[in-house]
Structure 1
Amino acid sequence: MYTTLMTIIFFVTLLLFLFRHLLSRWLRRRKPPYPPGPKGLPIIGNILMMSHFNHRGLAKLSRTYGGLLHLCLGFSHIFVVSSPQIARQVLQVQDHVFSNRPTTIAIRYLTYGKSDLAFCNYGPFWRRMRKLYVMMLFSRKRAESWASVDEEVHKAVRFVVLNVGRPLNVCKLAFSLTRDITFRAAFGSSSSTSDEARLDEFLGI
């Protein structure tokens, strides 16, 4: 009896997935085609390629499929922009089209119905919030208090410029930048190479 019930549940679940997959394909035919991209498997899409979705892997894919490529993770569609011309269209020329962010139930709950600047939709409310942010958080006086953060960012940029043409560990650079900004904000000075042992002990705590 138990085996029969599990078999029925398995086949019903499989049929539901197949129905949704066929429905999505049918709806896709009625929409404009997606940009080029690597072909994915039914239902799971390109999930098996997740290990290649770092900056190097995406750059390699862009050389094959162009500056705008399409990836499918399950039933979610992702578009990767790696061309300066397309990035300008997305971020500057047609930014009002791409300004809204997709939200989940958790984000709606944490932001009280998308009532913060990061996740609210573009419109009058967003413009009022931006005005408040500019007046209260991004004023000249407030910006001067972030001078230490600017120094650490400029230091990281100089490091990248001096190492042009060499392999660069982006993860290590991002971690060092975050660590130094945190130290400047908390202790007034960034970590140095002479304090690596104490730093490792502190981070271990």
Structure 2
Amino acid sequence: MTFLPLVLYTSVALLLLYVLLNLRTPRSNRRLPPGPTPWPIVGNLPHLGKMPHHALAAMADKYGPLMHLRFGVVDVVVAASASVAAQFLKVHDANFASRPPNSGAKHLAYDYQDLVFAPYGPKWRMLRKICSVHLFSNKALDDFRHVREEEVAVLTRALAGAGGSTVALGQLLNVCTTNALARVMLGRRVFGDGSGGGDRKADEFKEMVVEMMVLAGEFNIGDFIPALDWLDLQGVTKKMKNLHLRFDSFLNEILEDHKNGGDIITSGNVDLLTTLISLKDDADGEGGKLSDIEIKALLLNLFTAGTDTSSSTVEWAMAELIRYPQLMQKALLQKRLFYTVIKGFLHGFGTV
């Protein structure tokens, strides 16, 4: 028997076994919102079509702002209005704080060890506290303001030095945001002098981040029909594992360099990684100690969430300003007015 028929027969047998077990298992008496009748095995997945947001909007018109769908064997409750969503995200947020299991969290996010996918509990609260205090607090933003200003200055010098030549703005912006974040997190740049000129590592890192974004949003049939997960029919799991190995190598190098180099301090400010490494030995409250895997998982979150998103936003904004010159002129006038007001304020303040 060749491999393909064996796979097909095994898949059919597993699906039939699942259906039989599902029929024999008594249904829960839970009250569920209304929704379209699911198909056997695949549930409501076919109802989503090629434009799921349009399909969900149409279903919300028919069934109301709170709907029940079944994706494969996974029950899904859809909040299709702001008021209903607020019940989940604000009023009862503690009950829905944990994210559902998925292949991305398992294969990319160190098996749920990061801040994004870790289950709600002491460890997650510890990771959030670390980020809130050392990255997102007003004090942290003020302490590292000079880092952002210096990296933006490097970017503007690189653009000015190009003269009338064509520049890869997206790549330069990515280098700027990544180096600014790296100096806060690691105490040093990760991409050369920050000019971004022909930096192969910078190009590779941006490709990895973009691939991470794509794979994180990729539909994987195994997430919804577990009996098919082992087949990896779309090859998504294989891609995730390969990308994870590349990111893990990148993060291992950073971690080892930091350990060997000792505590790196940027202008008197202790970087985040030094703080994280210190928590390996000293427990911080209810969350306990941090492992190397948890440190790498958190760094992965911050690098992927804080680099390409920021640079892409600026890149698209610049593209829109180029498309609409009148908006560019308006922005320049507002900038000149702002600096005129600030200059006058500072002059008046200095003469008081």
Q: TM-score, normalised by structure 1?
A: 0.61
What residue is the counterpart of 2:48 in the other structure? Answer: 50
What residue is the counterpart of 1:122 in the other structure? Answer: 120
- AA of the residue aligned to 2:27: R
Q: What is the RMSD of the two structures over their aligned residues, measured on CA atoms?
A: 3.7
- AA of the residue aligned to 2:76: I
2:90 pairs with one of 76, 88, 92: 92
2:99 pairs with one of 91, 98, 101: 101
Q: CA deviation at 1:117?
A: 1.3
Residue 181 in structure 1 maps to residue 180 in structure 2: no
- With 75-84 and 44-53 compared, the bigger mean Cα shift is at 44-53
Q: CA deviation at 1:85?
A: 3.5
What residue is the counterpart of 1:79 in the other structure? Answer: 77
What residue is the counterpart of 1:70 in the other structure? Answer: 68
CA contact (8 A) 2:60 2:67 kept: yes
What is the alpha-carbon distance in structure 2 between the residues aligned to residue 30 and residue 19 of structure 1?
Answer: 20
What is the alpha-carbon distance in structure 1 between the residues aligned to residue 91 and residue 53 of structure 2?
Answer: 25
What residue is the counterpart of 1:157 in the other structure? Answer: none
Computing the radius of gyration over CA atoms, which structure comes out larger, 1 or 2?
2
What residue is the counterpart of 2:174 in the other structure? Answer: none
Residue 23 in structure 1 maps to residue 151 in structure 2: no
What is the alpha-carbon distance in structure 2 between the residues aligned to residue 11 and residue 33 of structure 1?
Answer: 37
- When residues 192 and 68 of structure 1 are mapped into structure 2, their CA distance, relative to the original with a 3 A threshold, is closer
Partner of 2:136: helix, strand, or coil? coil
1:78-132 Cα distance to aligned partner (Å, 9 max, x none): 2211133432221112111111112345523433342221111111211211111
> Which structure ranks higher in relative contact order (CA pairs < 8 Å, sequence separation ≥ 6)?
2
What is the alpha-carbon distance in structure 1 between the residues aligned to residue 19 and residue 95 of structure 2?
Answer: 28
- When residues 39 and 111 of structure 1 are mapped into structure 2, their CA distance, relative to the original with a 3 A threshold, is same
Partner of 2:77: helix, strand, or coil? strand
Q: CA deviation at 1:75?
A: 1.9
State the percentage of identical aligned residues: 30
- For structure 2, the residue ranges without an aligned partner over 5 or more in a row are 153-308, 325-352
How many aligned residue pairs are there? 160
What residue is the counterpart of 1:155 in the other structure? Answer: none
What is the alpha-carbon distance in structure 2 between the residues aligned to residue 82 and residue 132 of structure 1?
Answer: 33
What is the alpha-carbon distance in structure 1 between the residues aligned to residue 26 and residue 63 of structure 2?
Answer: 20
- For structure 1, the residue ranges without an aligned partner over 5 or more in a row are 149-176, 197-205
Q: TM-score, normalised by structure 2?
A: 0.38
What is the alpha-carbon distance in structure 1 between the residues aligned to residue 83 and residue 104 of structure 2?
Answer: 34
Q: CA deviation at 1:29?
A: 1.4
